[in-house]
Amino acid sequence: MPTAGKPFKPLAHFALLECTPTGELLLAHRKQHLLLRVLVPQDLDDLAVALEAALKGYGRERTAFKKQYTPVNWLWSDS
């Protein structure tokens, strides 16, 4: 998928770690030390839609996470 386009531009910051046995793509953000799991749909033509939704959800959840916990050098810890 081209990472130059708007919906997939954040994908350039992720590294693909693996495909899990449960059918998920496991992606790691290179700087933020956070993981993104994307369920691979049965029809691979729907992968772009699933990935776009996961990236949007990642942004919302990361923002909520940052409000709940204070990161130190992009690392979050729960004391």
Specify if 38 maps to a domain: yes
Is 70's pLDDT higher than 80?
A: no
pLDDT higher than threshold 90 for residue 3: no
What is this structure's pTM? Answer: 0.76
Count of domains observed in the chain: 1
Residue 76 falls inside a structural domain: no
- Hey, how many other C-beta atoms are within 10 angstroms of the C-beta on 68? 9
Element (H, E) at 19: strand 14-19
Strand arrangement, sheet containing 24-29: 14-19, 24-29, 35-39
79 occurs within a structural domain: no
What pLDDT was estimated at residue 53? Answer: 93
Establish if 75 belongs to a structural domain: no
8 A C-beta contact, residue 17 and residue 27: yes
| 73 located within any domain | no
% residues pLDDT > 90 (the chain):
49
Q: Is 37 helix (H, G, I), strand (E, B) or coil?
A: strand
Q: Token digits for 44? A: 């691979």
Is 45 inside a domain boundary? yes
Asked whether residue 20 is domain-assigned, the answer is yes
Is the pLDDT at 43 greater than 90? The verdict is: yes
